[in-house]
Amino acid sequence: MNILFIEDDPMNRRVVSDMLDVAGAVMTGAESAEIGLKLIDEQDFNIVLLDLRMPGMDGFEALERIRARGDAKAQLPVIVVTADIAPDLRDRCLALGADEVMFKPVAMDSLFDAIGRMLAKPGAGMIG
Amino acid sequence: MGRIISSRTLVSFLAALMLVTGIVASPIAAAQQPVSSAPASFEAMIADAKAAMLVDPHQTIAKAQAARSIAGRLPAAERPVAVATIQWLQGEAYLRLDDTAHAGPLIQQALAAVSGTRRPTKLNGDILLSLGGYHTAIADVANALDDYQRAHNIFRDIGETRSRAVALLSIALLYQEAKDYPNALKYYDQARDVYRGDPQLLLTIYNNRGNALKEIGRYAEAEAQFREALTLAKSMGSPTQVARVLRNIARSQIMSGHIANAEQTITQGFALGRQGSEGAAATEQFWGIAAQAALQRGDLVKARTLIERSFAAGDDGNTLGAREGHETAYNIYRKLGDDKQALVHLEALKKLDDKTSQLAASTNTALAAARFDFANQELKIAKLQRDEAQRTVEFERSRARTQLFIFVGAAVVTVVIVTMLGFGLITIRRSRNEVRAANVDLAHTNSALAKALAAKTEFLATTSHEIRTPLNGILGMTQVMLADRTLGEALRDRIGVVHGAGITMRALVDDILDVAKMETGNLTIEQAVFDLRATLTDLSRMWQEQAQGKGITFALDLTDCPQWVEGDAARLRQVAFNLLSNALKFTEAGTVTLRAAEAAGADGPRLKIEVCDTGIGIAADKHELIFESFRQADGGTTRKFGGTGLGLSICRNLARAMGGDVTVVSAPGQGATFTLLLPLIRAAAPEAVTAEEQAETGALLIVDRNPITRAMLRTMLEPRAGTVLFAASVDEAVERIAVGGIALVLADEGTVKTAEDVDAALAMLAHTASAAGAATALLWAGLDDSQRDRLAATGIATIIAKPIAGPALAALLYPMEACDDLAPNHLATHAA
């Protein structure tokens, strides 16, 4: 299982990478939205984890671009992972097409739970 | 002068002025008051009692008491006024003796007695002035201001110009207390313009005008005012007054840097010693100010001699003001390198500052209340304007403005004092300059305060965001480490401590965030159906452990608790969490009880959630205080019990946002009961739940240790399986199956392979399952025929090849057309 994490903070990438390692999942890190979008073009991922506040293109725009794709990857499950606490943030992300919004600090159990639920969606992937 | 600590001096000074009024004006007063028809002896006794006030207030109290018996024999119509006069005199005397506990009730009784009269009299105004003095003495500034305003209006209406000037002077002094010097000056001017006939009054006005101007750095103008006062004092032939004004001149000269002039003034002061015993006593008070001048000159040895002489003369609270004296002494000894003596004065300073800050805090609280009145005042103004009652409008407006200014002034004082406590002990001089600078323009400060409040909220939001990022690293890594099965017990324990601390910190950050949300009005309340019993039971589990660890009994009483209700489960949980955390924190032994039940309310049924403890309890006067942000009942408990003190404030805010409230019943040592009352909206159980409960056919047990796969399988299979349970190993699964209630066991290769003998483990699993009437299925990767045969030989009914898509697995395990009794057989056929 390959999970893409678009996040500019190296520590956060490291933390999530180590967490996913516990569950035997592989994480690919992208330090900017631009790099992340390019990786989605090149590789197949099961799930995208997406930070919101990043220099250059932010998470909102990246989310919009993923959803605007013409191919099947437009349906990639996207989990927004943010430290922002603006009251309308969750609704904004869901309106843009995010499948799930999680707030930092992220509890490992909730992360696994969210990923598991994404994978259970039809067409998301195989068990094994 | 002008500092809060000097309020007593101001009050008694003012009291003296009022008494002069009473004595000088007594024939007029007598002519106006019904008491005039009383026997001459009563009037004489009252006059006698008044006369004694300036000399010895104790005598006044005794003499007024003696007049009481005569008052009792007066005609019934006159008695109330006579008794009120006696009460007022006694109250005023106690006030002059600094005995506010006796003074307050007497003055209030006097006011109550005369308030029934149709037309207010001078006595009415005099009592209000005394009441203002009393309120000032107990730092109740808002009421003091109100008293003085009312007194002023009475004096204005009955044409008592001198008393009216005294009332205006009292108001000016309040502004001076609040460090609102421009307004203080305005009222001093009014007082001066209303009545110029009394040199003593004028002297006070000029002297205080000088002080106000000095405080805002207008030294030349200040000195001019002091010179006017000096001329008056000399004409009155009072060395004490001359000395008082001379010291103010000297102080102003030192502050403006004119040391040579100050020294000349001080020489004049010492020269008063030649004017008899009163003059000699007055000179004693120049040592401290002379020490200040010497300190400014840099002549430390002389300064020390002078300040020692000053303290030896008992001059630590009169001439310089206690604080100024200790500050001068501290600066002198510090510069001399005499750390021990410097410390003595520094400690004295600290004590005074503590007192000051307490006083400022209470003043601030009082004024916070006054601020709410301010809004009402504005409404009143609007109404009055409609009625074109222009004169009254002017008064209401100025009164509202006054309250606002006083409030802002006191807020500034509080801010300044907090700053001083932090930095002031080391850099007292600098902070004093800052204080002065801060007071130059209060209107400016007002807008700065508003900005500061907005900045605080912004700061809270930003800070908590910034804290969450590193917390993500800490909590993330501790979770990863704790998930490592090979971790040694000792290390696991230590990482557990780090993790627990991180969780606590996250809770604090969440609390702070909530406060920020509440302050900006961004708090949202959800409305959804939830299982209240389950929510509370789940919450209790965590606190049960905590209580056990502390040796406390934890009781959960849900006897009369409704199950399905509509509301915000997360917020309700947060309030209950905070209340329980609070109860456990302050309880050393006994029981903490969480009880939920339906209660009757005025406007429909209420949900009542109680948290009772047997802890240290809370004094009645602290019951409201503990619901304020960053407050615990006693400063000492913060050190002992920790916490930000935000919890209860949040509870109350949340409860109110949900349409209810949190209240407390407690007494010290008696434990406490916190009660959360919310509107109760009962709801029907969600259909899915009822369906699940009805179609209970036995649970699905998944043997898989991978958390992601577990979540995925649960999501896919739960709608069909009903209850989903998990086991992390074959051994664990076997144990669970034996308990019963399992219809199907689904094992995953990854987890099964952790067993020492895979085939034996599978055989055991198949055997236990079939004995319990449960079907078995196994997920295996890269199956070939020989492997399939080997695995089937263990007795597992269904072998499924991985990878497989989720929906396919669900369809395989739970065919939609399957009937309950057919399901297990179906599986076998499918697999074959």
Q: Is B121 helix (H, G, I), strand (E, B) or coil?
A: coil
Q: Which of A106, A82, A104 is nearest to A94 (CA)?
A: A82
**Token pair for residue B181?**
């010097």
* B406 and B471 housed in the same domain: no
- Output the pLDDT for position B453: 66
Contact list in B for residue A25 (CB cut-off 8 A) is: 708
Asked if B476's CB is within 8 angstroms of A105's CB, the reply is yes
CB atoms within 10 A of CB A112: 22
Domains of chain A, by residue range, sit at: 2-119
| B260 reaches A (C-beta below 8 A) | no
Amino acid at B253: Q
Q: What is the pTM of this model?
A: 0.47
Question: Which of B463, B498, B519 is at the close of a domain?
Answer: B519
- Output the pLDDT for position B30: 38
* B608 and B629 housed in the same domain: yes
Asked if A9's CB is within 8 angstroms of B469's CB, the reply is yes
Asked if A126's CB is within 8 angstroms of B802's CB, the reply is yes
Chain centroid to CA B258 = 44
Facing B480 at nearest CB: one of A18, A83, A87: A18
Q: Is B607 helix (H, G, I), strand (E, B) or coil?
A: strand
| B524 reaches A (C-beta below 8 A) | yes
Rg, Å, chain A Cα set: 13
Distance CA A51, CA A81 (A): 5
Facing B472 at nearest CB: one of A12, A125, A126: A12
Is B754:B770 a contact under the CB 8 Å cutoff? Answer: no
Facing B465 at nearest CB: one of A21, A85, A127: A85
Question: Chain A: nearest CA to B493, how far in angstroms?
Answer: 19
Facing B524 at nearest CB: one of A1, A87, A115: A87
Question: Chain B: nearest CA to A67, how far in angstroms?
Answer: 23
Distance CA A41, CA B185 (A): 76
Facing B476 at nearest CB: one of A106, A116, A128: A106
Facing A115 at nearest CB: one of B711, B716, B806: B711
- Output the pLDDT for position A123: 63
Helix (H) or strand (E) holding B439, with range, is: helix B428-439
Give pairs for B82-88: CB < 8 Å, separation 24+.
B82/B35, B82/B38, B82/B42, B83/B110, B83/B113, B84/B109, B84/B110, B84/B111, B84/B113, B84/B114, B84/B123, B84/B127, B85/B33, B85/B35, B85/B46, B85/B110, B85/B123, B86/B46, B87/B113, B88/B123, B88/B126, B88/B127, B88/B130
* B793 and B709 housed in the same domain: yes
| A18 reaches B (C-beta below 8 A) | yes
Instruction: Locate the chain A residue with the closest alpha carbon to B484.
Output: A22
Chain centroid to CA B458 = 20
Asked if B522's CB is within 8 angstroms of A127's CB, the reply is no
* B703 and B731 housed in the same domain: yes
| A55 reaches B (C-beta below 8 A) | no
Contact list in A for residue B702 (CB cut-off 8 A) is: none
> What confidence tier does A27 reach under pLDDT thresholds 50, 70, 90?
very high
Taking CB atoms and an 8 Å cut-off, how many pairs form between chains A and B?
Answer: 130
Contact list in A for residue B469 (CB cut-off 8 A) is: 9, 11-12, 83, 104
Instruction: Locate the chain A residue with the closest alpha carbon to B524.
Output: A87
* B470 and B366 housed in the same domain: no
pLDDT digits (tens, 9 = 90+) for B406-430: 677 767 766 766 665 665 555 555 5
Angle between helix axes B322-336 and B428-439 (nearest 10 degrees) is 140
Instruction: Locate the chain B residue with the closest alpha carbon to A9.
Output: B469
Contact list in B for residue A87 (CB cut-off 8 A) is: 517, 522, 524
Asked if B807's CB is within 8 angstroms of A128's CB, the reply is no
Contact list in A for residue B464 (CB cut-off 8 A) is: 85
Facing A116 at nearest CB: one of B479, B480, B709: B709
Contact list in B for residue A15 (CB cut-off 8 A) is: 472-473, 476-477, 480
* B260 inside domain: no
* B748 and B823 housed in the same domain: yes
Asked if A84's CB is within 8 angstroms of B465's CB, the reply is yes
Contact list in B for residue A124 (CB cut-off 8 A) is: 806
The bridge status of strand B724-727 relative to strand A26-30 is unpaired
* B325 inside domain: no
Amino acid at B814: Y
Facing B711 at nearest CB: one of A9, A103, A116: A116
pLDDT digits (tens, 9 = 90+) for A53-107: 899 999 999 999 999 998 989 999 999 999 877 767 888 999 999 999 998 888 8
Q: What angle do CA A37, A41, A43 make, to 5 degrees?
A: 110
> Whole domain around residue B475: which residue ranges?
447-519
| B710 reaches A (C-beta below 8 A) | yes
| B433 reaches A (C-beta below 8 A) | no
Helix (H) or strand (E) holding A82, with range, is: strand A78-82
Asked if B781's CB is within 8 angstroms of A112's CB, the reply is no
| A23 reaches B (C-beta below 8 A) | yes
CB atoms within 10 A of CB B456: 13
- Output the pLDDT for position B22: 41
Asked if A117's CB is within 8 angstroms of B713's CB, the reply is no
* B40 and B168 housed in the same domain: yes
| A88 reaches B (C-beta below 8 A) | no
| Regions of chain B with pLDDT less than 50 | 1-13, 15, 19-39, 315-320, 360-393, 637-642, 691-695, 817-832
* B644 and B731 housed in the same domain: no
Phi-psi bin for B772: left (phi > 0), alpha (psi -120 to 50), beta? alpha
| A3 reaches B (C-beta below 8 A) | no
The DSSP secondary-structure symbol of B118 reads: S
Instruction: Locate the chain A residue with the closest alpha carbon to B499.
Output: A107
- Say if residue B635 is exposed, middle or buried (CB neighbours under 10 Å; 0-12, 13-18, 19+): exposed
Phi-psi bin for B795: left (phi > 0), alpha (psi -120 to 50), beta? left
Q: Is B648 helix (H, G, I), strand (E, B) or coil?
A: helix
Rg, Å, chain B Cα set: 39
* B130 and B30 housed in the same domain: yes
Facing A105 at nearest CB: one of B475, B517, B706: B475
Question: Chain A: nearest CA to B703, how far in angstroms?
Answer: 14
Question: Chain A: nearest CA to B549, how far in angstroms?
Answer: 25
The DSSP secondary-structure symbol of B172 reads: H
Contact list in B for residue A128 (CB cut-off 8 A) is: 779, 781, 802-804
How long a stretch of residues is chain B? 832
| B504 reaches A (C-beta below 8 A) | no
Distance CA A77, CA A115 (A): 9
Question: Which of B631, B658, B679 is at the close of a domain?
Answer: B679
Mention every residue, 6+ apart, whose C-beta is less than 8 A from residue A93. Answer: A52, A60, A63, A80, A101
Q: Which of B465, B473, B472, B494 is nearest to B482 (CA)?
A: B494
If one counts the domains in chain B, the total is: 5
| B75 reaches A (C-beta below 8 A) | no
CATH number for the domain including B565? Answer: 3.30.565.10
How long a stretch of residues is chain A? 128
Facing B707 at nearest CB: one of A23, A84, A123: A23
* B410 and B452 housed in the same domain: no
| A89 reaches B (C-beta below 8 A) | no
Facing B708 at nearest CB: one of A25, A106, A122: A25
Is the domain spanning A2-119 CATH 3.10.129.10? The answer is no
pLDDT digits (tens, 9 = 90+) for B687-708: 655 544 444 578 899 999 888 8
Distance CA B748, CA B706 (A): 10
- Output the pLDDT for position B25: 36
* B674 and B739 housed in the same domain: no
* B258 inside domain: no
- Output the pLDDT for position B615: 87
Amino acid at B502: G
Question: Which of B386, B409, B440 is at the close of a domain?
Answer: B440
* A:93-122 residues touching chain B, CB 8 A cutoff: 103-109, 112-117, 119-122
* B612 and B470 housed in the same domain: no
